[in-house]
Amino acid sequence: MSYSVLTPTLLQIEKPAQSQWSKVTFLSAAPWVLEALDLIAALGNLPANWDGYGSPRIDIRARDAARRFVASVAFQNLPLPQISPVLGGSVGLHWRCGDRELEFTFQPDGRIEFLRVLGADLDRDENMEQGTLSHEPQTAGLKLLLWMVGAR
Amino acid sequence: MLERIAAAKRALPDFENPPAVETLMGVHFAPIEKWKSPHFGLFWASIKGDYPRVETQPPVIQPAAVEGVLSRMQSPLEFPLRCWFFNQDQTRLIQVQSNLFLHNWRRTARGEKYLHYDDLRPHFEREWHQFRSFLQQESLGPVKASTCEVTYVNHIDRGSGWETFADLSKVFPNWSPATSHNVLPSPELVAINASYPLKDVEGHLQISAQPAVRQQDAKETIQLTVTARCKPSSSSDDDLYRGLDEARKWVVLGFTDFTSPRMHEMWGRKI
A89/B243 Cα distance (integer angstroms): 55
Q: B182 and B63, same structural domain?
A: no
What pLDDT band is residue A119 in, cutting at 50, 70 and 90? confident
Q: Using a CB–CB cutoff of 8 Å, tell me whether A18 touches chain B.
A: yes
Q: Using a CB–CB cutoff of 8 Å, tell me whether B139 touches chain A.
A: no
Among A6, A28, A72, the residue with its CB nearest the CB of B210 is A28
B246/B252 Cα distance (integer angstroms): 10
Q: Which of the residue ranges A20-24, B92-96, B103-107 would you say has the lowest mean pLDDT?
A: A20-24
CA distances for B246 relative to A54, B2, B151, B160, B230, angstroms: 64, 15, 12, 30, 8
A63/A107 Cα distance (integer angstroms): 9
Among A3, A8, A37, the residue with its CB nearest the CB of B218 is A37
pLDDT of residue A47: 96
Of B142, B173, B197, the one marking the end of a domain is B142
Q: Do A70 and B104 touch (CB under 8 A)?
A: no
Residue of chain A whose Cα is closest to the Cα of B61: A17
* Long-range interactions of B115-123: CB distance < 8 A, separation 24+: B115/B23, B117/B23, B117/B25, B117/B150, B117/B248, B118/B9, B120/B23, B120/B25, B121/B25, B121/B241, B121/B244, B123/B92
Q: B19 and B75, same structural domain?
A: no
Q: Using a CB–CB cutoff of 8 Å, tell me whether B153 touches chain A.
A: yes
A147/A19 Cα distance (integer angstroms): 26
pLDDT of residue A8: 38
Domain boundaries, position B183: 1-29+144-271
Cβ contacts (< 8 Å) between A24 and chain B: which residues?
155, 212-215, 221, 223
Of B142, B175, B209, the one marking the end of a domain is B142
Instruction: Give this prediction's pTM.
Output: 0.86
Per the structure, the count of domains in chain B is 2
Nearest CA of chain B to the CA of A14: how many Å? 12
Residue of chain A whose Cα is closest to the Cα of B76: A5
Q: Summarize pLDDT for B15-71 with one digit per residue, the tens.
A: 999 999 999 999 999 999 999 999 999 999 999 999 999 999 989 886 555 455 555
Q: B261 and B160, same structural domain?
A: yes
Q: B227 and B207, same structural domain?
A: yes
Q: Summarize pLDDT for A121-138 with one digit per residue, the tens.
A: 666 667 889 999 988 888
Q: B176 and B161, same structural domain?
A: yes
- Residue B171 or A120, more confident: B171
Query: Taking the CB of residue A142, how many other CB atoms lie within 10 A of it?
Result: 21
Nearest CA of chain B to the CA of A11: how many Å? 10
Q: Do A19 and B95 touch (CB under 8 A)?
A: yes
Identify whether the C-beta of residue B148 lies closer than 8 Å to the C-beta of residue B247: yes
Q: Using a CB–CB cutoff of 8 Å, tell me whether B70 touches chain A.
A: no
Q: B105 and B47, same structural domain?
A: yes
What percentage of chain A has pLDDT greater than the value 70? 83
Q: Do A22 and B59 touch (CB under 8 A)?
A: no
Size of interface A-B (CB pairs under 8 A): 94
Q: B138 and B43, same structural domain?
A: yes
Q: Do A26 and B22 touch (CB under 8 A)?
A: no
E strands, chain B, in order: 20-29, 53-57, 82-86, 92-97, 100-106, 145-157, 192-197, 203-214, 220-230
Q: Do B217 and A68 touch (CB under 8 A)?
A: yes
What pLDDT band is residue A149 in, cutting at 50, 70 and 90? confident
Q: B35 and B25, same structural domain?
A: no
- Residue A126 or A53, more confident: A53
Given a cut of 80, whether residue B3 has pLDDT beyond it is no
Q: Using a CB–CB cutoff of 8 Å, tell me whether A45 touches chain B.
A: no
Q: B194 and B164, same structural domain?
A: yes
- Candidates B194, B114, B103; CA nearest to B149 is B103
What pLDDT band is residue B196 in, cutting at 50, 70 and 90? very high
Domain boundaries, chain A: 29-148
Residue of chain B whose Cα is closest to the Cα of A18: B60
Cβ contacts (< 8 Å) between A137 and chain B: which residues?
none
Q: Using a CB–CB cutoff of 8 Å, tell me whether A139 touches chain B.
A: no
Of B114, B142, B170, the one marking the end of a domain is B142
Q: Do B213 and A5 touch (CB under 8 A)?
A: no
Query: What is the pLDDT averaged over residues B181-196?
Result: 94
**B252: which residues sit within 8 A by CB, 6+ positions away?**
B12, B13, B152
